[in-house]
Structure 1
Amino acid sequence: MSVTYELVDLTAEEITAAGALLQQQVTDAVQQHLDAAVRTRGYDSMATCVTYAGEASVPRFQAEGRAARAWRSAVWDRCYAVLAEVLAGERASLTPAEMIAELPPLVWPD
């Protein structure tokens, strides 16, 4: 048995659609990753957690909110930098799981 493959050129529209699909899949996975990480401390989502960054009356919540907010920014910065490299053809495409593996870790305050 032999298998024959034929390489075909994609149209500009197909390339754009594939890039948009990849970006959506990766950003959805990253958001789920962010939300899952803060759930380990009892927050229902990243959006809720970062609201505590301004909480002065409970220092623990304020510290966790600030840590999560800083981490969220670092995560999205890395995610969008990697996606830009992929979409520009500067690096190979990646799966959402591979993107998650490249993100910085969340470090909670003591």
Structure 2
Amino acid sequence: MKTYARVDQGVVVEIVLPYATDEGVEVPIEERFTADFVAQMVDITGITPQPDQRWTYAKGVFAAPAVYQPTLADATVALKAAVQQWLDTTAQASGYDSLASCASYANSGVTQWAADAKAATAWRDAVWQACFAEWSAAQAATNPVIPTAAELIASLPQPATFGWTVHPAGG
């Protein structure tokens, strides 16, 4: 049974799998689709590796798409968002809306809230200082290694170091 790639403007846009009758007889591609549609098909039966969507096709040769490598600027935007989410999620575990919300309690008359604000602010400052140092070093590097969000967060100052403790909301 035959498998086809439908190619449009040099790019595989669809894989057309074999179709058989209830008796197991393959229905030819020409009987399943219009001539114009069939003209876009390339038989990929037996090709290894099997082409897939987004592969390119030129002069009888398939090529896998290039692996996307984010730029340092793109990665920095994504990593900043991940770090901010980590900061906010940590504060939310103690009932605050966000780390910014927690920090707003710096002058609170409630001892726990004021302590949380002090710890959160010190932690936040250390985290962002470490991030900016990391990004400056990456920009200066010839071939910077871009960490995953999990790798970056694991390397950053942790909240407990600054006296942050998770506690029930309302403190």
- Is residue 25 of structure 1 aligned with residue 78 of structure 2? yes
Contact 2:72–2:146 (8 Å) recurs in 1? no
Query: Higher relative CO (CA 8 A, sep ≥ 6), structure 1 or 2?
Result: 1
Q: Give distance in 2, aligned partners of 1:98 and 1:86.
A: 15
Task: Give TM-score, length-normalised by structure 1.
Answer: 0.77
Given the alignment, which residue of 92, 97, 100 partners 2:153? 100
- Is residue 44 of structure 1 aligned with residue 100 of structure 2? no
The DSSP-based 3-state class of the residue aligned with 2:117 is helix
Deviation of the 1:81 alpha carbon: 0.6
List per-residue Cα deviations over 1:56-98 (Å, max 9, x = no partner).
x111110111100100000000111111111211752212221
- Which structure 2 segments of 5+ residues have no match? 1-47, 49-69, 166-171
Q: Give distance in 2, aligned partners of 1:87 and 1:94.
A: 13
Q: Give distance in 1, aligned partners of 2:75 and 2:105.
A: 32
- Which structure 1 segments of 5+ residues have no match? 2-16
Structure whose CA Rg is larger: 2
Contact 2:88–2:99 (8 Å) recurs in 1? yes
Q: Give the 5 Å matches for 1:54-69.
A: 54-55=107-108, 57-69=109-121
The DSSP-based 3-state class of the residue aligned with 2:94 is coil
Q: Give distance in 2, aligned partners of 1:72 and 1:104.
A: 9
Higher helix fraction (1 or 2): 1
Q: Give distance in 2, aligned partners of 1:88 and 1:94.
A: 16
Given the alignment, which residue of 55, 59, 83 partners 2:135? 83
The DSSP-based 3-state class of the residue aligned with 2:157 is coil
Identity of aligned residues (%): 39
RMSD: 2.3
Task: Give TM-score, length-normalised by structure 2.
Answer: 0.51
Q: Give distance in 1, aligned partners of 2:159 and 2:111.
A: 19
